[in-house]
Chains A and B, each alone.
Chain A
Amino acid sequence: MNENRMQVLQMLAAGQITAEEAERLIAALENGGSAGVPDAGAETTPKARPKYLRVLVEAEELGNAHGPTKVNVRVPMQLLRAGVKLANLIPAQARDKVNVALREQGVQFELNQIKPENLEEIIDQIGDLIVDVDDKNAKVKVFCE
C-alpha cells in the first residue's frame, strides 16, 4: 500500500473525511492523481492542530444590576498534555487509593488509563468540537482554536 493511500485511510479512520470522499481520493490516486478529484486536496488537507482550549462563560444573575459574570479562559494544549503526563507521575500507591476512592463514588475510571497517547487522539478529534450551552441565565461555550 503506498503512502498516499495509507494517508487517505488514516484520514478516514480519524473522521476527517467521509467514506465517499475517501473512495474518490483513492480512485483519483489510482488514476494518476488528477482525474476526477473535485477540489479534494483543499478539503482533505489535514487541518492545523488546535493550539488552545477556550472556555467562555457568561452567567446572568437575577437582580444583579452590575452585569453578568464572565469567564474567559484560554488554556494551551501543551499545558493539558503536561497535565496528563503529571497524572502518570502519581506514585502507584497513591494512584491505587485514588482509583479506590473513584470507584467508591461510582466513577468507573482508573488513573492508569490516562495516557498521553489518548490525549493526542482527543486533541486530534477535538478540533471540530464546539460545546455550546445556551441556558436562560447562562451561556457556556467550549471550543478549540
Chain B
Amino acid sequence: MIPLLAYIRICTGRNRGFRLWIPLFLAWLLLAPLVFLLVPLFLVVCMVGEVDSWQALSTFWQMLVGLKNTYIEVAHQETSILIHTF
C-alpha cells in the first residue's frame, strides 16, 4: 500500500512551529492523469537508456510503497524537522 498521509513538523526557535498533515491520497489522485500522460515519455527514456521499462516501473512502484511508515526526525539546537508517512 502506498503512503496515504504525511505529517511534517518544523519547529524553529521558541514558537510552536509549523505542523502539516498532507493527504497524499489526494495528491496521488491528482497526479494519476499526469502519470498516464508521461507513460510514453517514460517508455522512450527507457528505450534510449536500454533499461527494462517494466522492471523500472516495478522498482519505482516498490519505492513508493516502501516509503510508507518512513520516519525522519532531525533536531539541531532549537530547530527540529519531522517527516512521517503513513
Contact = CB atoms under 8 A, between A and B. Distances in A.
Interface of A: 52, 64, 66-67, 69-76, 78-83, 85-86, 88-89, 91-92
Interface of B: 49-52, 55-56, 58-59, 62-63, 65-78, 80
A69 B59 contact: no
B69 A83 contact: no
A82 B62 contact: yes
A86 B59 contact: yes
A138 to B, nearest CB: 13
B50 A91 contact: yes
Contacts of A81: 62, 66
Contacts of A79: 63, 66-67, 70
Contacts of A91: 49-51
Question: In terms of DSSP, what is the predominant structure of the interface of chain B?
Answer: mixed
Q: Which 5 A-B pairs have the closest CB atoms?
A: A79-B66, A78-B66, A82-B62, A74-B71, A82-B63
B78 A66 contact: yes
24 contacts: A64-B77, A67-B75, A67-B77, A69-B76, A69-B77, A70-B74, A70-B75, A70-B76, A71-B73, A72-B72, A72-B74, A76-B66, A78-B62, A78-B66, A79-B67, A79-B70, A82-B66, A83-B63, A85-B59, A85-B62, A86-B63, A89-B52, A89-B55, A89-B59
Nearest to A91: B49
A80 B69 CA distance: 13
Contacts of B66: 76, 78-82
A49 B77 CA distance: 36
Contacts of B51: 89, 91
